Chains A and B, each alone.
Chain A
Amino acid sequence: AQTVTQSQPEMSVQEAETVTLSCTYDTSESDYYLFWYKQPPSRQMILVIRQEAYKQQNATENRFSVNFQKAAKSFSLKISDSQLGDAAMYFCAYRGMNRDDKIIFGKGTRLHILP
């Protein structure tokens, strides 16, 4: 069975600095999708970024980028120029490519932004 592990329950970063959130996963599949979701205090779950395993190029969305290391089964999220609005719980997630596959979520990392 697939698992997703986020080893950092909490992190803090100074405003305008860069922070990296770690995620590792375990799977026997060769093709899959990986996601980072953000949950701010409003509790809305927001998709931040997505990576297809068959793509070697790391995904980027504005200040958010990933470091995808397929062999190491690692999928970290880098937030550049951190802003107060980035304060949230961040969930790493995995989805296989089979039909009906559910998304498996990590336990989350709470990110604090220090002004």
Chain B
Amino acid sequence: DAGVIQSPRHEVTEMGQEVTLRCKPISGHNSLFWYRQTMMRGLELLIYFNNNVPIDDSGMPEDRFSAKMPNASFSTLKIQPSEPRDSAVYFCASSFSGGRDGYTFGSGTRLTVV
């Protein structure tokens, strides 16, 4: 298995632009998580899905952030419009529900908003 695949690895965009981050979870995993990591706040859970359904989006900072999971093999996190304070590393992770194996993380997308 190729693991959790995220794209792009790096993204630099101008303030006000729309940004879309992509994630392909491990085949067979039915839970998917989006995290944001910054020096100040550490790892923050933004949203997670179970069987493609959003279960908890309480971590989504504001309406500028949205996430979708149209099928079991693909998820997107969109920021529109982007702001400099959104600059961070965004991780996608997947797992089996309640699994003992923890999460498998993707390599993250480093987003820089200038």
Which residues does A use to contact B, with CB under 8 Å?
Answer: 33, 35, 37, 42-47, 50, 52, 91, 93, 95-103, 105, 107-108
Judging by beta carbons under 8 Å apart, are A33 and B102 in contact? yes
Judging by beta carbons under 8 Å apart, are B50 and A47 in contact? no
Which A-chain residue is minimally distant from B55 (CB atoms)?
A100
Across the interface, which residues of B come within 8 angstroms of A45, CB to CB? 91, 93, 103, 105
Across the interface, which residues of B come within 8 angstroms of A91, CB to CB? 43
Count class of interface residues, chain B: 20 to 34
Judging by beta carbons under 8 Å apart, are A52 and B98 in contact? no
Which residues does B use to contact A, with CB under 8 Å?
Answer: 31, 33, 42-43, 45, 48, 50, 55-56, 89, 91, 93, 97-98, 100-105, 107-108, 110
**Within the assembled complex, what's the spacing in Å between the Cα atoms of A44 and B91?**
9
- Looking at A33, A45, A108, the one whose CB has the most chain B CB atoms below 10 A away is A45
Judging by beta carbons under 8 Å apart, are B108 and A43 in contact? yes
**Within the assembled complex, what's the spacing in Å between the Cα atoms of A101 and B31?**
10
Given known A-B contacts A43-B89, A108-B42, A99 and B105 have beta carbons under 8 A apart: no
Which B-chain residue is minimally distant from A105 (CB atoms)?
B43
Taking the closest CB of chain B, its distance from the CB of A57, in whole angstroms, is: 15
Taking the closest CB of chain B, its distance from the CB of A8, in whole angstroms, is: 14
Of the residues B31, B43, B105, B107, contact of A100 by C-beta under 8 Å = B31
Across the interface, which residues of A come within 8 angstroms of B33, CB to CB? 102-103
Given known A-B contacts A43-B89, A44-B107, A45-B93, A103 and B102 have beta carbons under 8 A apart: yes
Judging by beta carbons under 8 Å apart, are B101 and A100 in contact? no
